[in-house]
Amino acid sequence: MTGEILNIIAPVFVVAGIGFLLEYRGIGFHSETLSRLAMMVGTPCLVFSSLTGTSLPDDSLLRIVIIALSAVLVGAVLSGPALLVFRQPWRTFISSLSLPNAGNAGLPLVYFAFAEPGLTIGAAFFFMIALVQYTIVPA
């Protein structure tokens, strides 16, 4: 069990250590470049490969899509009235209250907990959340 936990945590510490050494030596590191590369290339490639190479039946993927959309809808329905009661601007808060962080933290956690089948389910869920976030949610 210790080996499994170490396999999960070690890459995080190695990457953090490399970043620390680069900054300590004065080399610097432009995290914005890496972040954009991960969001514009890495994440879409991960989602595409997970969804095209899945062995899950289509009805299971459809169920995941419905669950993701339901989760967003429930979050919006529950947070909308609260924003009105507390007189807060809904455009500012509705997306953060109704959309989960299904990508940055969610996908690695699902992969480490449930391996490849879990990653496929997580990628489908993330895809729907991202689709809602970038098409429906107000700016």
Residue 40 has pLDDT above 90, yes or no: no
DSSP state of 29: -
CA–CA gap between residue 1 and residue 72 (Å, rounded): 36
Q: What is the pLDDT of residues 46-62, one digit of tens each?
A: 888 888 888 889 899 99
CA–CA gap between residue 36 and residue 41 (Å, rounded): 8
Of 117, 104, 119, 131, the closest CA to residue 38 belongs to 104
**Reported pTM:** 0.73
Q: Compute CA 125 distance to the chain's CA centroid, rounded to the nearest angstrom.
A: 9
> Helices (H), strands (E): how many in the chain?
6, 0
Q: What is the pLDDT of residues 104-133, one digit of tens each?
A: 778 888 888 888 888 899 999 999 998 898
Q: Tell me the percentage of the chain whose pLDDT exceeds 90.
A: 27
Residue 139 has pLDDT above 70, yes or no: no
> What does the pLDDT average to over 59-74?
94
Residue 86 has pLDDT above 70, yes or no: yes
CA–CA gap between residue 121 and residue 51 (Å, rounded): 9
Q: Decide if 122 contacts 107 (C-beta within 8 A).
A: yes
